[in-house]
A and B are shown apart, each in its own frame.
Chain A
Amino acid sequence: DGGITQSPKYLFRKEGQNVTLSCEQNLNHDAMYWYRQDPGQGLRLIYYSQIVNDFQKGDIAEGYSVSREKKESFPLTVTSAQKNPTAFYLCACRKEGRVEAFFGQGTRLTVV
Chain B
Amino acid sequence: GENVEQHPSTLSVQEGDSAVIKCTYSDSASNYFPWYKQELGKGPQLIIDIRSNVGEKKDQRIAVTLNKTAKHFSLHITETQPEDSAVYFCAASSPHDNQGGKLIFGQGTELSVKP
Q: Which residues of A pack against B, CB within 8 Å?
A: 6, 31, 33, 40-45, 48, 50, 56, 58, 90, 94, 99-106, 108
Known interface pairs A40-B9, A106-B41; A99-B93 also in contact (CB < 8 Å): yes
Instruction: List 10 other contacts, CB 8 Å, given A42-B107, A101-B46, A101-B101.
Output: A6-B43, A40-B9, A42-B105, A43-B44, A44-B105, A48-B101, A100-B46, A100-B49, A103-B43, A103-B44
Chain A residues with CB under 8 Å of B49's CB are 99-100
Task: Across the interface, name the chain B residue whose C-beta is closest to A94.
Answer: B101
8 contacts between A and B (CB under 8 A): A40-B108, A45-B103, A50-B100, A101-B34, A101-B103, A103-B36, A103-B44, A106-B42
B residues contacting the other copy or chain, number (CB 8 A): 26
Is B98 an interface residue when CB atoms closer than 8 A count as contact? yes
- Chain A nearest Cβ from B49, distance in angstroms: 7
B107 adjacent to A56 (CB under 8 Å): no
Report which of A45, A58, A99, A108 forms a contact with B98, defined as CB distance below 8 A. A99
Chain A residues with CB under 8 Å of B42's CB are 105-106
B101 adjacent to A42 (CB under 8 Å): no
Task: Across the interface, name the chain A residue whose C-beta is closest to B34.
Answer: A100
Most buried by A among B9, B34, B44, B89: B44
Chain B residues with CB under 8 Å of A44's CB are 105
Chain B residues with CB under 8 Å of A103's CB are 36, 43-45
B44 adjacent to A90 (CB under 8 Å): yes
- Chain B nearest Cβ from A109, distance in angstroms: 14
B100 adjacent to A102 (CB under 8 Å): no
Chain A residues with CB under 8 Å of B99's CB are 50
